[in-house]
């Protein structure tokens, strides 16, 4: 099995060092845990030879968000109903 390039290993190390900081900054910004942020971070952390490329992962995340929004009642509907 071929060894990974040193730059790639260093990048993985930097990502793992900054991930907790990113999570804490995002939570501090929004004030509480956010499911969409957690899903985004999950997709960012997926690695491996059998993992789809970034465009496909981004589309999967956006599809999940749109599906979630479609299942939520619209705020305008709440305002007009009594």
Domain positions in the chain are 32-72
* Environment class of 7 (CB within 10 Å of its CB; exposed 0-12, middle 13-18, buried 19+): exposed
Answer whether 60's CB lies under 8 Å from 42's CB.
Answer: no
pTM for this structure? 0.48
pLDDT tens for 7-18 read 877 877 777 777
Question: Buried b / exposed e across 43-74, counting CB within 10 Å, b at 16+?
Answer: eeeeeeeeeeeeeeeeeebeeeeeeeeeeeee
pLDDT tens for 17-62 read 777 777 777 777 777 777 777 888 788 888 888 888 888 888 888 8
Distance CA 28, CA 32 (A): 7
């Amino acid at each position: 099995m071929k060894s990974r390039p040193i730059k790639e290993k260093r990048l993985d190390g930097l990502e793992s060092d900054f991930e907790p900081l990113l999570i804490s900054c995002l939570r501090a910004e929004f004030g509480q845990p956010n499911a969409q942020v957690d899903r985004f971070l999950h997709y960012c952390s997926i690695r491996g030879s059998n993992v789809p490329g970034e465009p496909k992962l981004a589309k999967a995340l956006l599809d999940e968000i749109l599906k979630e929004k479609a299942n939520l009642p619209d705020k305008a509907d709440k305002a007009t109903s009594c």
